[in-house]
A = this chain, B = another copy of it.
Amino acid sequence: MSRMNLLQAVNNALDTAMAADERVLCFGEDVGIFGGVFRATSHLQEKYGRARCFNTPLVEQGIIGFANGLAAQGSVPVAEIQFADYIYPAFDQLVNETAKFRYRSGNLFDVGGLTVRAPYGGGIAGGHYHSQSPEAYFAHTPGLTVVVPRNPHQAKGLLLASIRSPDPVIFFEPKRLYRASVGEVPDEDYELPLRQAEVIKEGNDITLLAWGAQMEVIEQAAEMAEKEGVSCELIDLRTIVPWDIETVVQSVLKTGRLIVSHEAPLTGGFASEIAATIQSRCFLYLESPIERVTGLDTPFPLTLEKEYMPGPLKVLDAIHRTMDF
């Protein structure tokens, strides 16, 4: 066990994966000698050489196209997109290529080895081009797996599982936690399961569901609510798609109430999918409407970032609305 922040945990996972399998490669803009603008790939070029850890030219569609080809060849590429906000030039390669590679070839070819890492989310005074949470775009794309860790321990285990998953994975790292989230992380090689949500805390009155940095927010809201006597069950979805419906259904069958929270705008955010599914599967058990506490239907702002963000008090307000319904 070592104390690490989330960035160090990611770096450690990459190091572990590269040491264990020489087919693993890390690349992207500034990931070489510099170790990435956040330093997630620090020292990897020194340790594994320029052939396995390198800078690419500044072209996201090329990075992912290149990575798709490498994965098809049998390598295990871990491509970094410098900010999730800049993943869109690669949208075609991800949505039309990565996601459909196995299906369209009847499994003759696949890019299962591919992992795309990208720092994402707000809370760092980044404005609309350094704060976005684009998970819902990819969640509407069959063939893709989208994973988000909430702390360093999760980050290492989920990233190792993603790299080794037989399916391509987009791994969004909540950059607000990069240095802020610190915890014990096993030194050895370990994986945490994909496609499984985790019940972080059991409770009876209401289920609060989120992922990534937003977990902290719902935890804070839950703490406040508990003081008022509301018993909250907390779930970290962890894998956004394919998502763990069963765990959420079981929880809501018990609590009868659900709040889903994410930073991305409300309309078409992934909370809508969860609400749509749960209202259908738990219809007779729901005591109040499923609430979504999310970003506004606007681009991500700067000066008024705090106002935009779905902070703990907004979640608490929603808990009140839901409990008092």
Contact = CB atoms under 8 A, between A and B. Distances in A.
A109 interface: no
Interface of A: 61, 85, 88-89, 91-92, 95-96, 99-100, 103-104, 128-129, 136-137, 139-143, 241, 243, 264-265, 267-273, 275-277, 279-281, 283, 286, 288-292, 296-299, 325
A279 B290 contact: yes
A73 to B, nearest CB: 22
Nearest to A60: B92
A89 B61 contact: yes
Contacts of A265: 140, 142
Nearest to A136: B140
15 contacts: A88-B92, A89-B91, A96-B129, A137-B137, A137-B140, A140-B264, A141-B268, A142-B267, A142-B296, A272-B272, A272-B276, A275-B275, A275-B280, A279-B290, A283-B286
A299 B88 contact: no
Nearest to A279: B279
Contacts of A142: 265, 267, 296-299
Contacts of A325: 283
A271 B273 CA distance: 9
A85 B283 CA distance: 36
Nearest to A61: B89
A118 to B, nearest CB: 14
A264 B88 CA distance: 20
A29 B171 CA distance: 35
B273 A270 contact: no
Contacts of A270: 268
A6 to B, nearest CB: 26
B272 A280 contact: no
A265 B144 CA distance: 13
A89 B142 CA distance: 18
A103 B297 CA distance: 12
Contact of A91 (B92, B100, B279, B299): B92
A48 B103 CA distance: 45
A257 to B, nearest CB: 12
A198 to B, nearest CB: 20
Contact of A272 (B100, B129, B273): B273
B267 A275 contact: no
A146 B325 CA distance: 34
Nearest to A291: B280
Contact of A299 (B103, B280, B281, B288): B103
B271 A276 contact: yes
A259 to B, nearest CB: 11
Q: Top 8 closest A-B pairs, CB basis?
A: A140-B268, A275-B276, A88-B92, A91-B91, A272-B276, A280-B289, A279-B279, A283-B289
Contacts of A85: 96
Given A100-B299, A290-B280, A299-B99, A268 B88 contact: no
User: For A270, A272, A325, which residue has the most chain B Cβ atoms within 10 angstroms?
Assistant: A272
